[in-house]
Structure 1
C-alpha cells in the first residue's frame, strides 16, 4: 500500500521533511503491528509499552517503579497501572528487598521471560525482513542518516532547556 503525502486535516501536500517523518511513523506502525501479531492469538494481550517494560525488567531485574520512572521519564501512575497489568497476567512479580521492606523490586516471572524472548525473536525476524535488499553499504548509509536526524533533534531540544 502506498501512502499519500497529504495533510488530511488541511488537505495540503506535506513538505519533504514532513514526508520523511510520516514515512518513519508508518514504518514503525507496520513494525509494531507485526511484532505484536505474534501474541494476538495467545492469552496475553500486551500493548507496545507493556512489551517495552518486559524488556526493561529483563535487562534490569530487581529494579523498582521509581527506577523505571527515572529511566523512562514516564508518569509513575501510568507505569504503576502497566506493572499491575503485567503482574495480573503473571508476567511480572514483586520481590522483597532484604534491606528495605518498603522497597518493592520487580522481576520477570519465567512466563514473562518466555514472552520477552518471543518478542525479541520477532524483532530480529522483522528487522531482517525490513532491510532485505539493502547491501551493507546502504545499511550503513541509512543508519548514518537516521543518526544524523536523531542528533539534529536532540541538539534542538538542548536549546529548549
Structure 2
C-alpha cells in the first residue's frame, strides 16, 4: 500500500479534464468487469436489463414512462428491454386501475433473486476496487465526488 500512497502524493496537480478522464477510466474498468461477470455467470442478464430491474426494485409500480423520464433512454429500447424481462418472468405487469392505458411494473420473486445475485457481484467488485483505500479515504472520496455531483446538478442544462 505504501507504493500506492507515494504514487498518489507525487502526482502533479490534476486538471479538471484529467480528473474526469480518470473517473471515466475507472468506470470503464468497473463496468467491463461487471459485463464479463454477467456474461460468464449463470444470470443470463445484460447490464441494461439489470439496470431496469434495479429501477423497478427501487420504484415498484412505476411505469415505462417513469423509467424513460428517469433514464433518458429511448422508449423503443425500453419497450424491448421490458418485454424481454417480462418474457423471462423477471418483471410482472398490471394495468393501472386509475388509468387503464397505463401499465404498472413490479419485479417478480425470481427477478428480485436475480437482481440480488447480480448486485452481490457488483458489491464484491466495488470492495476489491476500494481495497487500497482506508475507511477515512473512502469517506473522503465519496464526499468529494458528492460535491462534484452537486455542482453538476446545479448547472443549467
Normalised-by-shorter TM-score class: 0.7 to 0.9
- Matched-pair contact (CA < 8 Å) for 1:94–1:105: yes
What residue is the counterpart of 2:11 in the other structure?
A: none
Offset at 1:56? Answer: 0.8
1:51-106 CA distances to partner (integer Å, 9 max, x unpaired)? 11100111222211122223333332232222122223332222233444322111
TM-score, scaled to structure 2: 0.77
Listed as ranges, the matches of 1:2-151 within 5 Å are 16-41=15-40, 42=42, 44-46=44-46, 48-151=47-150
Offset at 1:43? Answer: 5.7
1:15-36 CA distances to partner (integer Å, 9 max, x unpaired)? 8322222221121122122223
TM-score, scaled to structure 1: 0.75
CA distance in 2, matches of 1:43, 1:145: 34
**Greater share of helix:** 2
CA distance in 1, matches of 2:43, 2:136: 42
- Matched-pair contact (CA < 8 Å) for 2:93–2:106: yes
Consecutive unaligned residues of structure 2, counting only runs of 5 or more, are 1-13
Relative distance call for 1:151 and 1:59 in structure 2 (3 A) is closer
Q: Number of residues paired by the alignment?
A: 143
Matched residue of 1:101: which SS?
coil
CA distance in 2, matches of 1:149, 1:97: 39
What residue is the counterpart of 2:153 in the other structure?
A: 154
